[in-house]
Structure 1
Amino acid sequence: MNTPGQRLARGTCRHLHTHGFVCLEEVIPTPGLRVDVMALGPKGKIWVVECKSSRADFMADGKWQNYLPWCDRFFWAVDTQFPTDLLPPDTGLIFADDYDAEIIRMGPDQKLPPPRRKSITHIFARAAALRLQALRDPNHLSLRI
């Protein structure tokens, strides 16, 4: 059974796919950080989405600002019952459920420096490849992520 955050991530990923993005959940851009959804766009843009299922979930997240240097745009994905007045107004906002989502507000476009873009694109590609290999060969110990 999926958690509320995983359901928000699923709907968000489905929606971002309609915009030409491919998504990975729970990506580690650098040790100590794990983003809920990282999306790679058709022109190489990197979007990060943090899924928050409740006020308490949001209040417990003290490190979301550390994700900003790892993306071109940052979004929150919440359900329509979430108290959106808690969310910083200068960030993106997505309403999501298990099946789809809608971008309500675009976050500012903060162009990644080329070396950081290369690094995070490499991290994204490597994570995706490892996950695919692990699906093909689930008993191979070195493929566990």
Structure 2
Amino acid sequence: MYYTTLIASLLFTSLSLASPIVQRAKPTGGPASAKITIYTAYTCTSSTTVPPTDGSAGASNTVTIAEATCAIISIPFGSAITAALTATPKTGAPGCFIQIHTQSGCGLTLNNEYHGFPFDGTVVGSKVGCVTPPVIGYGAVEITCG
């Protein structure tokens, strides 16, 4: 009985002196941001095609937005979008997307259809190649990471 109490006491003491469990580090950095360019009269032939900048792709509208910020911008049917990350997301984010919304707002409603296009990485300079939004015009864009 004495040895059992002694062993239990030693075990408790050694466990209480052991270093605490290392907590997982909290994410740092972020929010991500991206420069998005919309070409109003260009249809992408592939994701690696770069729209011409000589005016033949229509007017180009550029917006730089931070993650989880909604930008109200017209994305006409038959347009093209390109984007590049200008700031990285929080550490541990597996990926980022451009999300475009059919209405002039980024809220999720039954009438606000949205589509997403992935960046090819999470470092500054990662790109969304040339994408053409499907079927209709859109009215808002946002960056989401996670």
Q: Which has the higher contact order (CA 8 A, sep 6+)?
A: 2
Considering fraction of residues, name the structure with more helix. Answer: 1
Q: Calculate the TM-score normalised by the size of structure 2.
A: 0.28
The structure having more radius of gyration, on CA atoms, is 2
Considering fraction of residues, name the structure with more strand. Answer: 2
Q: Calculate the TM-score normalised by the size of structure 1.
A: 0.28
